[in-house]
Structure 1
């Protein structure tokens, strides 16, 4: 049995961890958003890939929700003393990941190959695959003009009002070969759209020509988990952005966003009475993931609804 998860960073990584823990080794492939990638201090930074790497390796920081646990900050302190650019924080351990990724990419390796190598070195059994080896960059149209994603998300702390989104480079990008292979695997039992931001984390993946088609052609059930619980996002700007885009900030709106792609939509118990309309099978479960037990419980529920008990 094989499973493909579609994921952004923190929220998606929680369910990816649950799936990783309940599935047999090597059964899970996570297709990761790379629309958040950018070059900073001449380093190639892949925030969502790194969150997945650290989470599945047990290296993630549970307090901040990003980066590595037990991090130190000597580099940033020294850079600040020199008057360098410090708005995007890179811990010393995290910095090593970006340096090594940049070195390998500079030697001619693809982002897929580099990600697979980093996962191997961290001892991961599951595969983490970038959505594309070509650059796709999420840009946010705001009331302050167009901003690159990290400048909106980190530098401006999501404060500007969102007017629209664009995925620069998507039209010319190709899906990573490993992503297509995972979706075409005859042993594929389920495609899980993790509870990541639908607009900032999942849509960039679906914007890569061929990926949505490959998901639809897989014939495995597609199960989407809502990132919105009771009209609130667990973390991040999902609800704020939905309101600014004129969308009702509810799980029903997320369900409508995935209608035509997903077969099953998982709502939290808080939203059990919510009408998500026709065209989607509804499923209700506790979706708030605070502990590893929460994550594995939700992972088992999702797979059971797909008709595949791990």
Structure 2
């Protein structure tokens, strides 16, 4: 019997985890990755999908593993030229190889293809060993409202994250239009048919949050017969990468593995997860997770390379099957 696994993912942690899951799955298993598209944006006339691309590049083996994002062997001639023209965002670098994909994507979108169809076309060039789906085909880019002196200011998430390095105090995050969005074709169906659903150790607020906020996806997760296992993005009270701690603080969640588990909530109590992987450094938090109605599993969480990412994925799959 074919095992069907669905992973919800975004960001560098999500792409590394997706690669590990693919390595950990048995022959003939079916892997579907639902990618966050809240990070998407229009820049210099082209459509960027950072999380989608990070996942696709990782699965295709063309990613820059050292930086954790973008293509290996990149050059930045076009970004340099754009800066000379005063175009785009001078603090947001577009690699030349990366820009080639953005141009192709934009052309296909202009021709009438959906983001789902664009990703499928990308997979024709690179065998991915998985089906990658956007969370929705609707544009629901993430915005951040920040404190600006005595007033407030709203900007695209990428400006806050990349330009300001999350140093401006966020008051709240939004995805304009998400209440009218629909899950991308195949997303709800994949969750319904899954044998296992995994929440990657991605940013709970701006990576996993937008996915489950798409009407229909949260409900599909709550009613699927598949066990849902989440992986903590926090180890020893610290985020593994990025500024997720600042995002968590904005929604009133502590940078704590058990607090994030409670944020997702137990499915028995109307939440999203059945089991939660904790780092060995956070073993003392296992009783707190259990008190929230979530089964906890203590295991190494560091993904330093593909073997450790595979080991983490194997632990998540074992937790689901157990």
Q: What TM-score does the superposition give when structure 1 sets the normalisation length?
A: 0.95
**1:246 and 1:129 mapped to 2: Cα distance?**
30
| Structure 1: gaps spanning 5 or more residues | none
Does residue 289 (structure 1) correspond to residue 303 (structure 2)? The answer is yes
- Count how many residue pairs are aligned between Structure 1 and Structure 2: 306
1:125-161 alpha-carbon deviations (Å, 9 max, x no partner): 2011000011112111211321211111112221101
1:257 is displaced (CA, Å) by 0.8
Q: Which residue does the alignment assign to 2:231?
A: 225
Q: Which residue does the alignment assign to 2:117?
A: 113
1:230-282 alpha-carbon deviations (Å, 9 max, x no partner): 11111111113333544321111101111121000111110001122331000
1:169 is displaced (CA, Å) by 0.9
**1:101 and 1:217 mapped to 2: Cα distance?**
34
Query: Secondary structure of the residue that 2:190 maps to in structure 1?
Result: helix
1:53 pairs with one of 51, 56, 75: 56
**1:75 and 1:288 mapped to 2: Cα distance?**
35
1:4 pairs with one of 3, 6, 25: 6
1:44-72 alpha-carbon deviations (Å, 9 max, x no partner): 10000000011111111122211011111
Q: How does 1:1-310 map to 2 (within 5 A)?
A: 1-23=3-25, 24=27, 27-85=30-88, 86-144=90-148, 145-185=153-193, 188-259=194-265, 260-274=271-285, 275-276=288-289, 277-307=291-321
Query: Secondary structure of the residue that 2:47 maps to in structure 1?
Result: strand
**1:177 and 1:78 mapped to 2: Cα distance?**
38
Query: Secondary structure of the residue that 1:53 maps to in structure 2?
Result: helix
Query: Secondary structure of the residue that 1:39 maps to in structure 2?
Result: strand
The 3 A distance-change label for structure 1 pair 26 and 117 is farther
Query: Secondary structure of the residue that 1:31 maps to in structure 2?
Result: strand
Query: Secondary structure of the residue that 2:133 maps to in structure 1?
Result: strand
Answer with 253-262 or 141-150: which moved more. 141-150
**2:43 and 2:62 mapped to 1: Cα distance?**
22
Query: Secondary structure of the residue that 1:112 maps to in structure 2?
Result: helix
Query: Secondary structure of the residue that 1:137 maps to in structure 2?
Result: coil
The 3 A distance-change label for structure 1 pair 25 and 68 is farther
| Structure 2: gaps spanning 5 or more residues | 266-270
**2:28 and 2:129 mapped to 1: Cα distance?**
5
Query: Secondary structure of the residue that 1:76 maps to in structure 2?
Result: helix
1:205 is displaced (CA, Å) by 0.6
**1:83 and 1:111 mapped to 2: Cα distance?**
29
Q: What TM-score does the superposition give when structure 2 sets the normalisation length?
A: 0.92
1:83 is displaced (CA, Å) by 2.9
1:84 is displaced (CA, Å) by 2.6
1:5 is displaced (CA, Å) by 0.2
1:22 is displaced (CA, Å) by 2.1
1:80 is displaced (CA, Å) by 2.2
Q: Which residue does the alignment assign to 2:268?
A: none
1:295 is displaced (CA, Å) by 0.6
**1:57 and 1:237 mapped to 2: Cα distance?**
27
